[in-house]
Each structure stands twice: as structure tokens, then as C-alpha cells.
Amino acid sequence: MSAMPTATTSRSEQADVHQVMDLIFGRWRSQTLHAGVRLGVFDALDERQPLDAASVAAALRVDAPLLYRLLRALGSLGLVRELPGKSFLLSSTGVLLRRDHPGTLRGVTLLEEGPVHYALWQHLPDMIRDGRQNAFEREFGRMAFDYAAEDLAYGEIFNEAMTSYSNAHIAWVSESLAGYDFSGISQLCDVGGGYGHLASAMLARHPHLRATVLDLPQVIAQRDALWAPRLGVADRCTYVGGDMFKSVPRADAYMLKMILHDWNDDECSRILWNAAAAATPQARLFVIEHVVPNADEPHFAKLFDLHMMCWGTGRERSAAEYAALGAQSGWRFERAWTPADGLIQVLEMRLARA
């Protein structure tokens, strides 16, 4: 029987068919987006001054007729606007893909739709069949973090994507904790904090705070990438090279932003136990993640969980699962803080021995 709508197909059935067809061809859209970013289309176009496809092609040193067809497709996705004469303007959405936009999603596009991550998804059925996740190891013979350290091109894209993700996450964290009373906290530790974007943003909002950013020595050695000097809080922010699986600095509060989802339960427990062992008596901990909601509720976290299945040993978890991890590792769950769009949650825990 044909899967396409016919004259006798009900409107409900037609809607179901269109929904499935939309899912089947969804990757056409993301690959079209990836091609535009990779070729530099969004950096070549302007929001106000229309440019014809031939001029853009000349600037990018690509084939003009084929570029026009790509631009036309990007227009159908709402990323550019096509005007008469085969000329184009950037849309407000397309601007987000420019390299120089402060909230750019260019790196995320190059990472998630690039050839490395694209290759991971072919292993999804086999992983589920044999009960062993980590497509990165299956495809490339090593863990993702090791691959990023060894393959400079992938590592550069990975770092750019993490910065893009971080811009969105910090906005959501700031919204979630806008009314939080930080007066009882003097020393904050951002565990696995990378270049210190989150810690520096918190210091900028709360002048009484001091912070420590813990990450691998090779990460914090990249002095030009550190956020504390850029946000004018370098005098209150200390970068420490170390391994969160071995120990973490002493603090009144710990932040773990998109860290625990990278690891399995045993690995997470080691991180949480290390924080509990170093914490001051009244310490609290903030777990910032895409938290899986109740059954049958659509949510980005449920798709991100499959990505984590492909990417490594980790997973997305429910609030109850994070609370259980904390309880096994010296922490007592207090409450969840959620921004308006609900894409992430900030789960607050307190030291269990307090």
C-alpha cells in the first residue's frame, strides 16, 4: 500500500503521513544548513544590502549556478530572503550563523552536522542490539575527548561549538537563578569549567563572589581564550589545572554545567564524592543539564540522550535520577530552578552532612 496520501486518505492520516515524511527528510534541512555554514554563505551575505548570487559566488570562489540553488534552499528554510534578480539578504535567523555574532551557532552546526558526528549515528541500531553504547569508540577507536585532543581540526570545531552552547546555557542559568540568594556563598567552584565562561558570568553578576575554575591543564593553558579577563573579573577568578576524577578545590558552592551527562553513573559518583569531600560544611551544588521530563512529554533532552549514547559513556537523566546520584555521593537534593523555555534545569543540592 502506498505511503503517500490518496484521495481516500483522511485528513488525520494525511497529517500523520506528512509528519513522518517531515522526519524522514529532516536531515536534508540540517545538511543544507551545514553546507551554507561550511562554505561561508552567512558571513558573505548582509542583513540590509542585497547581494546577487553571482557576486556571492565570486567572493566565495564557488560555482555560481550551484550556489544559487543552495541559497534558494536556504531561503526555503527561512535563513535568507530571496529578492528579485537572484539576490539575497540574511534573515534574523541566518544572522545567528555568522562567525562574528556574539551568540553564533556556527560552531554547533559544524560539529553536529559535520562528518565526524554524522558518522556516529549509523551505529545506533547496533548499539541498541548489543547493549553497548559509545559510537565514537566504535567508529574512531577512541573516546571523543581523546579524539578532540589528537585531531586538531575536530578539536577546533569542538571548542567553537562548546562556546556556542555555553552562550545559550549561561543565559538560561542566569534566568533560572535570577532570584537566588547568593549572600551565603563566598567561594564558587566551576568544575570542568573550561575557559571559565559560567564562573566569570556569575562573578560579574555578584561582586562579592570569588571563583575557581577547574579544568585540565591543557585547557586553562590557553590564556587568550579565558573569559575572566574579558569580563573584567580576573582579580576574583583563579584557574586551576587538575582532574575532577581525582580531586576538586574547596568551595562553598559547586557548579557542574553539562558535565555529568558526559559520564556513566560510577564516573559521576567519583566527581560528586570529590566535591563533597572538599566542600565547606554548608556547601551547595548546582547541576545544570537538559533534564529528562516525565513519560510521554516531548523534550529536547530525550533526543540529546541518544546523541550522548553515540558520543560516549554518558546519558541524559531525570531529576529523580540526578537526585539519586547525589544521595549516593554525599549530596541531598533541594529543588529545581527552570528558565521560561524549560530546555535546561538547574538542580540544587546541599551537602548531606550539613
In 3D space, the residue among 168, 181, 239 whose CA is nearest the CA of residue 210 turns out to be 239
In 3D space, the residue among 142, 136, 143 whose CA is nearest the CA of residue 122 turns out to be 136
C-alpha cell at 255: 557548579
Check: CB of residue 253 under 8 Å from CB of residue 185: yes
Residue matched to cell numbers 546555557: 169
101 catalytically annotated: no
- The rounded distance, in Å, linking the Cα atoms of 29 and 22 is 10
Cα–Cα distances in Å, from 333 out to 112, 316, 320?
33, 17, 9
C-alpha cell at 293: 521530563
- Which secondary-structure segment (H or E) carries 240? strand 237-241
The helix/strand/coil state of 158 is helix
Check: CB of residue 9 under 8 Å from CB of residue 28: no
C-alpha cell at 352: 548531606
Q: Which of the residues 169, 261, 290, 307 is marked catalytic?
A: 261
In 3D space, the residue among 97, 110, 41 whose CA is nearest the CA of residue 73 turns out to be 41
- The rounded distance, in Å, linking the Cα atoms of 110 and 280 is 41
Spatial CB neighbours of 191, under 8 Å, sequence gap ≥ 6: 214, 244, 248, 254, 255, 256, 259, 271, 275
Radius of gyration, alpha carbons of the chain: 23
79 by Cβ neighbours in 10 Å (0-12 / 13-18 / 19+) ranks as buried
Residues carrying an active site annotation = 261
